[in-house]
A and B are shown apart, each in its own frame.
Chain A
Amino acid sequence: MTYRTPLLGLLAALPLALPAAAQELPQLRVAFSEDADVMDPTTGRAYVQRVALLNMCESLFDYNSKMQIVPRLALSYEWADPQTLVVKLRPNVSFNDGTPVDAAAVKYSIERHQTFTGSARRGDLGSLTAVEIVDPLTVRFKLKGPDVVFLSQLGVRAGVLVSPTASEAAGKDFGQRPVCAGPYRFLERVAQDRIVLEKVPNYWDGANYHFSRITFRPIADSTVRLANLRAGAIDINMSVPPTLADEVRKDPKLKLYTFDGIGYTGLTVNMGRNNTTPGPFGTDKRIRQAFDLAIDREAIVNVVFNGVHAANAYPVPATSPFFDATLPQPKRDVARAKALMAAAGVKLPFVVPLTVINNPEAVQVAEVMQSMVAEVGFELKLNTMEFVSTLNAADKGDYVGWTVGWTGRPDADGNLRDLLYTGAGTNYVGYKNPEFDTLLDQARSTADMAVRKAAYRKIYSLLRDDLPIIYLYSPRWNFGMAAKVEGFDPVADGMLRLGGVKFAR
């Protein structure tokens, strides 16, 4: 859309000046809901940082729309044994400063992820003991024990390669001018305003990328983000809230992509985090089971999210290859819930302080639950605070229940291990269950999907009985796009992969 000047000549659709060669391709403008953190694949944590990074910092592997792992900078892989992964690299690929992508660069990058101060990838690579150079285009990863999940880590930020030359030159400041291998390179960043990427000539997969520049803009307000999309000031809005989804759907100039994510939102229960002594809600599973039976997940997603998200009592979404559709989704049963409360012998009303992040949707979910569980005799006391404060309280074990989401990992292990394995850093529950730990270890020790799925089935049943986390729903992504954008193939991790994406002629 071009802005029509009414007065004073104050107008203008105004693309930045471009070199002549790059002007042959159009530019793409993308909005997300918050600003990215540091643009370093080793220390960056934010989802939006990964979105901006994805098309300029490729990993060894990636995921396709079926969440299958596919090679990118790698050409192929082979499990020599359950503790040894051999990866062959794509030949004749260079980082954007000309440094070759070879086995030495892989070793450098992965070891950087393991040792760099404040690395956020250390946990992802926890099972890795050594990276060995077999030949210039082959690397061998040696693991502490059988861990097939390791391969999935090489498909996210832990598998991103950085230019050793640029990294050594920049040191701690690498995030200010990251240099990786990818179809785009970093051009500029103005904090809170924009991150601009520019297309790289002669990239191995360059013909599949159809924009000269990508500009990412953080626009915090969802109404304003949508107004920008409707006004043509952006082409893609990566975060349309469920309440505004209908507006996008009804607008003929726009289109909406709604697709499953890989995470979950649930009620995390304190069962002894940080050696705290939990109350009856954390110690007596009958009370948690009563709570679980008192809530109606379908009603929650319909009331708060216009039915956009998927009610789900399990840690992985229905589209995950690790989901087990034969396991039942619980229905609300007030009579059974009351019976369980009676069996637990607690005095009614039974007070449950619930820590809630102070965003409108989280508060609404809590309020809907509050009215549902009141019928069974629970008095849900909402304690709303901003995210960082809830995180701090959870870390100390200073909470009873906490509604919070997990962004999710492609492998089911990533939605369970860090959160519930005994002693794991983000095990805010303080969960200690040797049977669960054993099953989880079994599930990662083999690449045989049938065996893995059987182990996860047992895990899900165990979690449904114990309820350390009362899973509520699986969030779905809502991407709004200008109608002219075509070729977008959604992937459940919510990334914006621009291969094949272009404007209709």
Chain B
Amino acid sequence: MRGHLGVRFAQVIPTLLLVSIMVFCLQQLMPGDPALVLAGEERDPEVLEQIRRELKLDQPLVFQYFYWIGNVLQGDLGFSWRIRQPVTELVATKLPVTLQLATMAFIIAVFIGVPMGVLSAVKKNTFWDYLANGIGLAGLSTPNFWLGIMLILLVSVHLGWLPPSGYVPLTEDWRQSLATTIMPAFVLGNAISAVLMRHTRSAMLTALQQDYVRTARAKGLSEHLVVIKHALRNALVPVVTLGALELGTLLSGAVLTEQVFSIPGFGKMIVDAVFNRDYPVVQGVVLVTATVYVMLNLVADVLYVMINPRLRGA
């Protein structure tokens, strides 16, 4: 197992290098000269030249890439061209926001999706199955931005229960922090819970037909133990894979949800950066996100082994 994890860990470096090359090259395809954007309504050729010189935009692309990646290797992600703040500082400010939102959304998704999937599989073709499927379908088909706006109008404007938008860090006031993030976390978690529910149901249906489940029942184990300890544990392997992927997606920033609730996370930052051709921010955020994503997949690998002892010898 150590060897397997070692190989996976070694794959991280070329993966991230590839990501850095791809994000650098792809953003060059975006139309629009960043110097023009930064100059705004000012079109003095000398000012445009100054901007290009300062940002190294007058240098060949290969030089620009190595200049950037060289700094990255020294822990410097550059500075935002638009707001002139270090990207590392911006990432450090946004990462806790995105982490908090993603974690809350994921917890909500797991607590709704997995039990619903289990219930749906165990009570197959009953009212509970249809109900769980209906809720899952609704969750999948409801657009996040619509649900978000509806929740704001209902919960904040009409009922006055929660603040409609904004963010307060956990360290500043945990109650207010939860109050500002619970709605966006629910919106995000809602869609993922539907996906988790469908996968859990499918995996559980397969697991419940396996010989070891029949054996467990024949041994006289209670249905509760059969479902939770035997069937669910085996069914969770594909669910963990999916969960890791969904969590990774959440960490890359939930653009629409962050936009609707004015949550200052990765999603909002990267969208603003793309529209303003703020390349260092785009590159920095994508690289950090990719790192987190790859690490999460490593964690998922470890979890497989913990859940399924048969993989320990692999």
Q: Which residues of B contact A36 (CB under 8 A)?
A: 83
Q: Which residues of A contact B42 (CB under 8 A)?
A: 45, 119-123, 425
Interface check A92, CB cutoff 8 A: no
22 pairs of residues in contact across A and B, judged by CB atoms under 8 Å: A11-B162, A13-B163, A38-B82, A39-B83, A45-B42, A118-B47, A120-B40, A120-B47, A123-B42, A123-B44, A176-B84, A219-B262, A221-B149, A227-B164, A231-B160, A388-B32, A392-B31, A392-B36, A393-B31, A418-B41, A418-B43, A425-B43
| A118 and B41 contact, CB distance less than 8 A | no
Chain B residue with the shortest CB-CB distance to A223: B149
Interface check B277, CB cutoff 8 A: yes
- 160-212 of chain A: CB within 8 A of chain B: 172-173, 175-176, 190-193
Interface check B259, CB cutoff 8 A: yes
**In the complex, A182 Cα to B108 Cα: how many Å?**
47
Task: Give the Cβ gap from A258 to chain B, nearest Cβ, in Å.
Answer: 23
A118 with B162: in contact, given A38-B83, A392-B36 (CB under 8 Å)? Answer: no
- 17-54 of chain B: CB within 8 A of chain A: 31-33, 36-47, 50-51, 54
| B83 and A231 contact, CB distance less than 8 A | no
| A392 and B32 contact, CB distance less than 8 A | yes
Interface check A275, CB cutoff 8 A: no
| B84 and A395 contact, CB distance less than 8 A | no
- 1-45 of chain A: CB within 8 A of chain B: 1-6, 8-14, 16, 34-40, 43, 45
Interface check B133, CB cutoff 8 A: no
| B165 and A12 contact, CB distance less than 8 A | no
Contact among B82, B179, B272 for A3, CB-based, below 8 A: B179
Q: Which residues of B contact A326 (CB under 8 A)?
A: none
Interface check A309, CB cutoff 8 A: no
- 134-178 of chain A: CB within 8 A of chain B: 172-173, 175-176
Interface check B115, CB cutoff 8 A: no
Interface check B167, CB cutoff 8 A: yes
Interface check B288, CB cutoff 8 A: no
Query: Which of B122-130, B170-178, B293-301 contacts its partner?
Result: B170-178
A224 with B93: in contact, given A118-B51, A120-B40, A191-B269 (CB under 8 Å)? Answer: no
Q: Top 6 closest A-B pairs, CB basis?
A: A425-B43, A45-B40, A193-B264, A388-B32, A192-B264, A14-B176
Q: Which residues of A contact B157 (CB under 8 A)?
A: 227, 230-231
Q: Which range contains the number of B residues in contact with the other chain?
A: 35 or more
Q: Which residues of A contact B261 (CB under 8 A)?
A: 224
Interface check A220, CB cutoff 8 A: yes
Q: Which residues of A contact B152 (CB under 8 A)?
A: 224, 227, 231
| B164 and A228 contact, CB distance less than 8 A | yes
- 91-148 of chain B: CB within 8 A of chain A: 93-94, 145
Interface check A426, CB cutoff 8 A: yes
Q: Which residues of B contact A13 (CB under 8 A)?
A: 163
Total cross-chain contacts (CB, 8 A): 177
Q: Which residues of B contact A217 (CB under 8 A)?
A: 166, 262
| B175 and A224 contact, CB distance less than 8 A | no
| B166 and A233 contact, CB distance less than 8 A | yes
Q: Which residues of B contact A39 (CB under 8 A)?
A: 83
Chain B residue with the shortest CB-CB distance to A39: B83
13 further contact pairs, Cβ within 8 A, besides A117-B54, A220-B268, A388-B277: A38-B83, A45-B42, A117-B50, A191-B269, A192-B268, A192-B272, A224-B165, A228-B164, A228-B165, A230-B157, A388-B37, A389-B32, A426-B43
| A10 and B182 contact, CB distance less than 8 A | yes
Q: Which residues of A contact B36 (CB under 8 A)?
A: 388, 391-392, 395
| A227 and B149 contact, CB distance less than 8 A | yes
**In the complex, A230 Cα to B165 Cα: how many Å?**
12
**In the complex, A387 Cα to B275 Cα: how many Å?**
8
A118 with B262: in contact, given A37-B83, A388-B31 (CB under 8 Å)? Answer: no
**In the complex, A391 Cα to B262 Cα: how many Å?**
27
**In the complex, A122 Cα to B49 Cα: how many Å?**
13
Q: Which residues of B contact A14 (CB under 8 A)?
A: 168, 173, 176
| A173 and B166 contact, CB distance less than 8 A | no
Q: Which residues of A contact B179 (CB under 8 A)?
A: 3, 10-12
**In the complex, A13 Cα to B167 Cα: how many Å?**
12
Interface check A424, CB cutoff 8 A: yes
**In the complex, A218 Cα to B160 Cα: how many Å?**
21
| B41 and A45 contact, CB distance less than 8 A | yes
| B164 and A12 contact, CB distance less than 8 A | no
| A4 and B161 contact, CB distance less than 8 A | yes
Interface check B156, CB cutoff 8 A: yes
Interface check A446, CB cutoff 8 A: no
Hey, what's the 0/1 contact readout for A102-139 against B, CB within 8 Å counting as 1?
00000000000000011111110010000000000000
- 372-424 of chain A: CB within 8 A of chain B: 385-389, 391-393, 395, 407, 418, 424
| B85 and A176 contact, CB distance less than 8 A | yes
**In the complex, A39 Cα to B167 Cα: how many Å?**
22
Task: Give the Cβ gap from B41 to chain A, nearest Cβ, in Å.
Answer: 6
| A388 and B275 contact, CB distance less than 8 A | yes
Q: Which residues of A contact B292 (CB under 8 A)?
A: none
| A193 and B259 contact, CB distance less than 8 A | no
Q: Which residues of B contact A122 (CB under 8 A)?
A: 42, 44, 46-47
**In the complex, A274 Cα to B163 Cα: how many Å?**
51
Interface check A46, CB cutoff 8 A: yes
| B41 and A426 contact, CB distance less than 8 A | yes
Interface centre among A14, A16, A220 (most CB of B within 10 A): A14
Q: Which residues of A contact B162 (CB under 8 A)?
A: 3, 10-11
Task: Give the Cβ gap from A274 to chain B, nearest Cβ, in Å.
Answer: 12
A386 with B156: in contact, given A172-B84, A219-B165 (CB under 8 Å)? Answer: no
| A391 and B37 contact, CB distance less than 8 A | yes
Q: Which residues of A contact B168 (CB under 8 A)?
A: 14
Q: Which residues of A contact B160 (CB under 8 A)?
A: 1-4, 231
